[in-house]
Structures are given as C-alpha cells and as structure tokens.
Amino acid sequence: MALPPRARLTIDLDALARNYHAIAHEAAGAVTAPVLKADGYGLGAGPVARRLWHEGARSFFVARLAEGEALRAALGAHQAEIFVLDGFVAGSGPRHVAAQLTPVLSSLTQVTAAASFAKGEGVVLTCGLQVDTGMNRQGLPVAAANALIQALDGLRGLDLTLVMSHLGSGAEPENPRNRAQLDAFQAVRRLFPEARASLAASAGAFLGPDFRFDMVRPGVSLFGSGPQERPDPRIAAVACLEAPILDIRSVRAGEPIGYGTSIRAAYHTRLAVIGAGYADGVIRAARRAARAWFAGDLRRIYIVDMDMTVIDLGDTPAQPGEMVELLGPHALLDDLAAAAGSIAHECLVRLGSRGDRVYLGAESPDVRN
Ligand SMILES: *Cc1c(COP(=O)(O)O)cnc(C)c1O
C-alpha cells in the first residue's frame, strides 16, 4: 500500500549557487564567506556547505562549537576555514584544535581564556575578534579593543586572522546607524592592520563598496531572502515547502473555520485542507496575511494548525493528493515572514522541524558518478 502523501521540503542547491554568485558579484573584491549557523538555517549545513565549496566558498561561519565540528566532518577533505561565532570558552581549546576551528573572540574573558590555552599548550591559536561598533549585542566594546592593543601581551599566543563587527540596521540602507558603525569599524580595523576585516552580513553586502572590506558574511540571502527583507529579483527561492491536499469541503459565508469562532469564511467557498502545519514550520501567526500557491494563483490561508493548514480554493478544481506550495518560488519567503510579523531567518530555521528534505541539484555538479 502506498504511504499517504506528506509535506515535502525541497532545497534547490542550484538556486543556492545562483544566490551565492549574485552576492559575490554584489560584493566584488571581497571574499564571500557563507554563514551556516543552526544547521545551515535549517536547510542542512552539510549539503549546503559542500555545494558552496564547489562554487568557490572557502571560509564559513557557524554559531556553536558543535556546529563547527559537524561542518568540519561534513566537508571531509575540503580544507575550509571555519569560524565559530560563539568564540572560546575555557576548556573548549582541544575541540577547537581537533576540528581546526577558528573561534571569533568577543569579550576580554574569551581573549584571556584563548591566550592562556595557547600558552599552556605552547601553540599559536588562530582566532577572529568581534568588536561591537554599535549593535549592542555581541563583541568587545571599542574601548576594550583599544586597551587590548595597548597591552600587546594580551594577544600573545594568538594569531588574529580576522577582525569583524556586525551591522544592526543593514537592511535599511538609509539608516544613519550604518554609517556610524562603519566609521567606528574603520577606526577599529586600523588597530589590527595584519588581520582581515569583515563588517557585512547579507544586507550589508548590498550596501556598496565601503561596507565590503575583505570578507562579507551572508546567511539568509543565500537561502532566498532579499537584502532588504523583501523579495528581490537578484535572489532566488531556495527552500520550497509543499504539502498535499488532504480534503476539500464547502463552507457558507460567515461560518467559523477551525478552533474558535474568530476566523470565518469570507464568502461561500470551498476550502482545501493541506497536510502541513506549524509542526512543519508554517508559522501560525502568518495565517490570514500569508498566501499559499495552488493552480497558478496565490490563495488566502485561513488557519494553520499543528499538522494542517486550510486555504481558500474558491471554485478552482482540485483533487486530494495535489500539492500546494506553502513556501517557495511563488509563496515567497519574505512575504511569509512579513505576514507572520517575523523575519526570513526565523521562518527558515523552523522548516527543518519535520518535513522530509529533498535536495534538488547536485552537491558537486561536474563530478559524474
Ligand atoms: C547571523 C550572522 C550573520 C549572517 O546574517 P544574515 O542576516 O543571515 O546574512 C553574519 N554575521 C554574524 C555575526 C551573524 O551573527
């Protein structure tokens, strides 16, 4: 007996490759170093990294030490540079060394812990340094970076390969905060003339040459989100979540749909019940404002439950088993995020929760087997 059809998450590696080159083109002159934290934004860091390596990426970022170890294993013999944004906590030294990971130090405590590990082992530890230029989240305050340089001893045993910072308002090109952070970063980078410099993530990579420095660190735009948190013709959809129609039913105008009575049919219509819900990553808050794609049109979403979503079919002919696109090349990531009052990053990382992942396109396209 055939298994019932289920939700399917497709990850288009060819679209990922196009986005990588679109960003690299935009950031020409700088190295494009993909950020693959949270298992590659929920899409599978291994296949994504191997394809990006094939496209020319040699430096990568993750958040956690364990993500770095997993990425090292996934890249196998490929000698990639892997930065760990969580930095260095006391005791983590052997794991960094074993997996050849580069911690991005973001506090004096971390600098001290890394330096004392290097001294104790008699090794030179390659590190990055994150400086807070005004986002007020992570990184050494600028004054502390200055003090560190004054006390040159603080960096003994550390080979500082990258100095970086992160923009708080990169998605708003006109926001004066970008220029303020840029000015602060330029001053900081002069303190570390030997290190490469990096300021821009996805959004920043599109802000023009001043923001590029030696390296840009895109994450979400690789996976289909426009640099200004809205659909952008330069960026293609990578993740596609589709689910089958389980059932079709009619409702009269004003009848309540699903739990509670606040959501009601706008008119006498037919509904399709789709086999994916918030357990599959469809954000519940996106109902009403989000649209699903079926038979050539965007359709209103009435409700999102744990395993089911209900959309408006109108009089469009449909059969159970036909697939509906809840996210993809038509039901766009940034539109879904806006409808949910969220951002593309959150929508993406939720997708991995249940659906079977299918990869389209090869990890190494010209390697025939
Ligand atoms: C997550 C992150 C990035 C990537 O950000 P996107 O908005 O996904 O491009 C880059 N740098 C740092 C420090 C980050 O935390």
Query: Which residue out of 140, 166, 225 has the highest number of ligand 1 atoms within 8 Å of its CB and is therefore the one to mutate?
Result: 166
CA of 218 to the centre of ligand 1 (A): 6
Question: pLDDT tens digits, residue range 216-242?
Answer: 999 999 999 999 999 999 999 999 999
Question: pLDDT tens digits, residue range 32-48?
Answer: 999 999 999 999 999 99
Whether 263 and 288 have beta carbons less than 8 Å apart is answered as: yes
DSSP annotation of 277 reads -
- The H or E element that residue 189 is part of is helix 176-191
Q: What's the Cα-to-Cα distance from 296 to each of 138, 240, 310, 334, rounded to whole Å? A: 45, 16, 17, 19
Asked whether the predicted pLDDT for residue 1 surpasses 70, the reply is no
Question: pLDDT tens digits, residue range 239-294?
Answer: 999 999 999 999 999 999 999 999 999 999 999 999 999 999 999 999 989 999 99
What is the pLDDT averaged over residues 91-113? 96
Share of the chain above pLDDT 70, in %: 96
Identify whether 267 is a catalytic site residue: no
Question: pLDDT tens digits, residue range 156-166?
Answer: 889 999 999 99
The tokens of 250 are what? 């009619």
Task: Supply the pLDDT for residue 153.
Answer: 67
Asked whether the predicted pLDDT for residue 143 surpasses 80, the reply is yes
Of the pLDDT bands very low, low, confident and very high (cuts 50, 70, 90), residue 369 is very low
Give the ligand 1 atom nearest the CA of 37.
1
Q: Whose CA is nearest to atom 4 of ligand 1?
A: 219
Asked whether the predicted pLDDT for residue 4 surpasses 70, the reply is no
| 340: CB partners within 8 A, 6+ apart | 283, 285, 286, 289, 290, 346, 347
Give the ligand 1 atom nearest the CA of 220.
8
Question: Terminus-to-terminus CA distance in the chain, angstroms?
Answer: 32
Say what angle helices 65-75 and 45-55 make with each other, to 10 degrees. 60
To 10 degrees, the CA torsion angle through 24, 81, 162, 167? Answer: 50
Question: pLDDT tens digits, residue range 297-355?
Answer: 999 999 999 999 999 999 999 999 999 999 999 999 999 999 999 999 999 999 976 76
| 82: CB partners within 8 A, 6+ apart | 59, 60, 61, 62, 68, 71, 72, 75, 99, 100, 101, 102
Cβ neighbours of 24 (radius 10 Å): 19
The tokens of 187 are what? 């001053």
